Chain A
Amino acid sequence: MLICLMLASGLVANRTLAVLQTHTTAATIITTTSPQVKLPGTIYVSQEGSIYAISGAKVRRLGLPSGGDWTQPRVLADGSLIVIRRFDEYSDLYHVTSSGHVIAQMTANDQMSGKATLQLDHWILWPAIGPDGTSVFFATDAPKPAPNMSYEVDFSLWSAPLGAAFNIGDTGVTGGTRWSVPDLYTGGDIEAVPLRDGSLLYSSYANTGKGTVVTVLGLQTSPTSPMKALTTPQQDCGAPAVAADGVTVAMVCTNAGQTADLETATLAGDALGPLHVLVANCLCNSPSWSSTGNNLLYMNASNPDGNFGLWYLANATGAHPGAARRVSDSSVDLDATSAAAWSSR
């Protein structure tokens, strides 16, 4: 009996240490939201290749085809979605219903060409619907040199008619309109936001010539016009999102540091007003607005070790925004690089 107790004490000591170990549990799938935050409409978020629709406190998973490790949803006026599905070495654009049923696959970027010419594959990311609802804007790594000719691969901004499939090749997008020429070897131009007046706001990465690559918010009035920088390289601002008022721009600025600020500014013509910090020293990313109001969603991790969750700021266009509130549970880790899409339906 005593020997058994001794053996048990050894086992207890061993297991106690095991319990004290920092447990890095796998991220929880989002199934519910914080009970104190019930937002109107439907919010679509991305987690590990799936899209989840949040309606009030209820969460449902869209029935997308299996596969893929990252997604990016955007809501169309009729309530359907356009969705990026990202795989290991390429991504594609889909038109899906609000339940996730595929209506159409709009690109086919897997060339099925094997490892020898995998550079023929392409990325398509950050889709955005044009102001008249008939075109889609996006970033893609086209044009780029033929395989084994150069290491160059950077994002350019393009638009294409919505509703028809289009082809992305090494020379460009068939039937598409090219909007930007990237600064090579920086990552290029991304996150297009088409504005009501036909101009385009986006994040543009640039080589400073001093050992750093920074991003500025760029504005173009037409596909061929030069880009006007709205922020400075020192501010290092990206991820623009324009509110329903058409003039308030939310963005994330790092000021070349290891943390970020979530900020807003007012766009007046081709100039941006002073920047106002909404959330300072955060790991904020991917701001997005409610389709009808001035409420802001964004991704953030509450501490350097924490999960990325969906956060909400009411009245973010006003002089007195509400307090930041976490929408998703702290055990849930969402894809912080994929902005939530907020539908009024």
Chain B
Amino acid sequence: MSRTYDLSGRRRVRRRRASLKTGRRRITRGSLIAAGFLFSILTGVLLYFLPALQVALRDTGQVNTSLGGTAQLKPVSASEHLSTTSPFTLLLLGSDSDSKFNGDYLTQSMILTRVDPATKHVTMLSIPRDLWVRLCTGSNGKIDQAFLHGGAQCAIQTVERDLKVHVDYYAWIGLQGLVSVLNELGGVNVIANNPVMDDYYPADLSGGSPYDYERILVLPGAQHMSGTLALEYVRARHDDAYGDFARSQRQQQILIALRAKTKYTSIADIPTLATSLGSNFQTDMSIGEVSGLLPIAGSVPLNAITQVVLLPPYTSSVYVGGQDALMPNWALIRPEVAKYFPVAS
């Protein structure tokens, strides 16, 4: 009996072990299959976002080139500013990045932007490119040269020191990048303020000599603008009563129109946008911060955007250093700027 018992007990144990082995095998097989599917799905997703990741690793806050030209690693922050209700400042820089400049870019456009996620209010201050200031290098010059001398860090330092503000982030975009992004987004709807005409508009993006001219005309009123038309609208300045000031106002207008576009874009658009930007975009924001900015921008109502341009008497035309420039009246500018861009104590 006991033998029989023993035998049946061993059999039961064997059966149990066999059953356990089979169960483990099933679990292992199932896990492997699940892992295989997961790996395959993740690979598919990764491949989809690969262009964006490549651009992000190259152009966003992973690598921050300092004034001295040495590269410093900046940790990827978990969008601390953008996930809270704290206001932050963003210096938007735009350059003529055509072949005339061989990579030595001036900033034709500098817009200091303050975003307050809590109140959903945005303030945009256009800094005239001809503003005569003390640059980060210590010498005096037009503020558009700061980027040329020391990249974004020099532009930030110059703006912070001269305007007595704090800059949290910067984003730089080249001409071709702006055109490509606007085209990828399907253009923007804008109300052109007046007929914008220029018989001496630079034909530097049409493939010929970068020193050629072309005639452009942007008609007034509400209309759909492609990337190229929007660029003409923000770049033309020769037949303009307010030259660079008017251009600055139009640049702010296109930014506001772009803000409306963010409501209609999704995370799936990021790879295409990243590819279209190519090497025409730099920022010190992390990927998380860039993606966190989009919903904030989209939620800002039109009437909660303050536009500031430093017209006379804040600036006055002068001839200095062998060139036409704008002399800042700091006594007027700094209190006004402090009102819109308060520095946290």
Interface residues of A (CB under 8 A from B): 2-3, 5-7, 9-14, 17-22, 24, 88-90, 115, 118-119, 121, 123, 125, 141, 144, 147, 151-155, 183-188, 190, 203, 205, 207, 210-213, 215, 238-239, 252, 254, 258-260, 282-286, 299-301, 304-308, 333, 335-337
- Does B57 sit at the interface, judged by CB under 8 A? no
Given the known A-B contacts A7-B40, A151-B239, are A17 and B256 also in contact in the complex, defined by CB atoms under 8 Å?
A: no
List B243-293 residues whose CB lies under 8 Å from chain A.
245-246, 253, 256-257, 260-261, 263-269, 272
Contact in complex: A185, B195 (CB < 8 Å):
no
Instruction: Using CB atoms, name the residue of chain A closest to B212.
Output: A115
A305 neighbours in B (Cβ, 8 Å):
186, 189, 260-261, 263-264
Tell me, rounded to whole Å, the shortest Cβ–Cβ distance linking A140 to chain B: 12
What are 30 A-B contacts with C-beta separation under 8 Å? Answer: A2-B36, A6-B37, A6-B39, A9-B41, A12-B41, A13-B40, A14-B44, A17-B45, A17-B48, A21-B272, A22-B265, A89-B214, A115-B203, A115-B212, A118-B215, A119-B200, A187-B197, A187-B220, A187-B239, A203-B220, A211-B309, A258-B191, A283-B191, A284-B222, A285-B191, A285-B223, A301-B189, A305-B261, A306-B189, A308-B224
Given the known A-B contacts A18-B268, A89-B215, A301-B224, are A9 and B37 also in contact in the complex, defined by CB atoms under 8 Å?
A: yes
Bound Cα distance A333, B263 (Å): 20
Tell me, rounded to whole Å, the shortest Cβ–Cβ distance linking A2 to chain B: 6
20 more contacts with CB within 8 A, not counting A12-B44, A154-B195, are A2-B33, A5-B37, A6-B39, A7-B40, A10-B44, A13-B48, A21-B268, A22-B185, A22-B264, A88-B215, A123-B217, A188-B195, A207-B242, A211-B242, A212-B242, A213-B241, A238-B220, A238-B221, A282-B222, A333-B224
A-B contact count (CB 8 A): 186
Contact in complex: A215, B194 (CB < 8 Å):
yes
Query: 9 closest A-B pairs (Cβ-Cβ)?
Result: A24-B186, A187-B195, A10-B40, A10-B44, A14-B44, A304-B260, A151-B238, A13-B44, A20-B268
One of A11, A24, A121, A211 near B215 (C-beta < 8 A): A121
Tell me, rounded to whole Å, the shortest Cβ–Cβ distance linking A8 to chain B: 8
A260 neighbours in B (Cβ, 8 Å):
191, 221-222
Instruction: Using CB atoms, name the residue of chain A closest to B219.
Output: A337
Bound Cα distance A14, B264 (Å): 21
Mark B27-47 against chain A: 1 for CB-CB distance below 8 A, else 0: 000000100110111111101
B39 neighbours in A (Cβ, 8 Å):
6
Contact in complex: A154, B239 (CB < 8 Å):
yes
Contact in complex: A90, B215 (CB < 8 Å):
yes
B242 neighbours in A (Cβ, 8 Å):
207, 211-213
Mark B149-185 against chain A: 1 for CB-CB distance below 8 A, else 0: 0000000000000000000000000000000000111
Given the known A-B contacts A14-B45, A20-B266, A301-B224, are A185 and B256 also in contact in the complex, defined by CB atoms under 8 Å?
A: no
- Does B78 sit at the interface, judged by CB under 8 A? no
Bound Cα distance A19, B245 (Å): 42
Bound Cα distance A125, B221 (Å): 14
- Does B59 sit at the interface, judged by CB under 8 A? no
B196 neighbours in A (Cβ, 8 Å):
187
- Does B330 sit at the interface, judged by CB under 8 A? no
Contact in complex: B223, A205 (CB < 8 Å):
no
- Does B99 sit at the interface, judged by CB under 8 A? no
Interface residues of B (CB under 8 A from A): 33, 36-37, 39-45, 47-49, 183-187, 189, 191, 193-200, 203, 212-215, 217, 219-224, 238-242, 245-246, 253, 256-257, 260-261, 263-269, 272, 302, 309, 311
Between B36, B184, B194, B203, the greatest number of chain A beta carbons within 10 A of the residue's beta carbon is seen for B194
A6 neighbours in B (Cβ, 8 Å):
33, 36-37, 39-40
Tell me, rounded to whole Å, the shortest Cβ–Cβ distance linking B343 to chain A: 27
A186 neighbours in B (Cβ, 8 Å):
194, 241
B45 neighbours in A (Cβ, 8 Å):
13-14, 17
Bound Cα distance A141, B199 (Å): 11
Bound Cα distance A7, B39 (Å): 9
B272 neighbours in A (Cβ, 8 Å):
21
Tell me, rounded to whole Å, the shortest Cβ–Cβ distance linking B313 to chain A: 11
Contact in complex: A18, B48 (CB < 8 Å):
yes
Contact in complex: A22, B266 (CB < 8 Å):
yes
Tell me, rounded to whole Å, the shortest Cβ–Cβ distance linking B241 to chain A: 4
Contact in complex: B222, A283 (CB < 8 Å):
yes
Between B39, B189, B221, the greatest number of chain A beta carbons within 10 A of the residue's beta carbon is seen for B221
One of A2, A11, A118, A282 near B213 (C-beta < 8 A): A118
Between A7, A9, A305, the greatest number of chain B beta carbons within 10 A of the residue's beta carbon is seen for A305
Contact in complex: B220, A304 (CB < 8 Å):
no
A336 neighbours in B (Cβ, 8 Å):
221-224
Tell me, rounded to whole Å, the shortest Cβ–Cβ distance linking A297 to chain B: 15
B265 neighbours in A (Cβ, 8 Å):
22
B37 neighbours in A (Cβ, 8 Å):
5-6, 9
Bound Cα distance A210, B263 (Å): 34
A155 neighbours in B (Cβ, 8 Å):
195
Given the known A-B contacts A9-B41, A14-B47, A153-B239, are A115 and B266 also in contact in the complex, defined by CB atoms under 8 Å?
A: no
Bound Cα distance A5, B198 (Å): 59
One of B43, B47, B184, B246 near A24 (C-beta < 8 A): B184
B217 neighbours in A (Cβ, 8 Å):
123
Instruction: Using CB atoms, name the residue of chain A closest to B256.
Output: A258
Bound Cα distance A7, B212 (Å): 52
Tell me, rounded to whole Å, the shortest Cβ–Cβ distance linking A174 to chain B: 21
A213 neighbours in B (Cβ, 8 Å):
193-194, 241-242, 246
Tell me, rounded to whole Å, the shortest Cβ–Cβ distance linking A338 to chain B: 9
Bound Cα distance A245, B140 (Å): 64
Tell me, rounded to whole Å, the shortest Cβ–Cβ distance linking A203 to chain B: 8
Instruction: Using CB atoms, name the residue of chain B closest to A123.
Output: B217
Contact in complex: B199, A118 (CB < 8 Å):
yes
One of A11, A183, A185 near B44 (C-beta < 8 A): A11
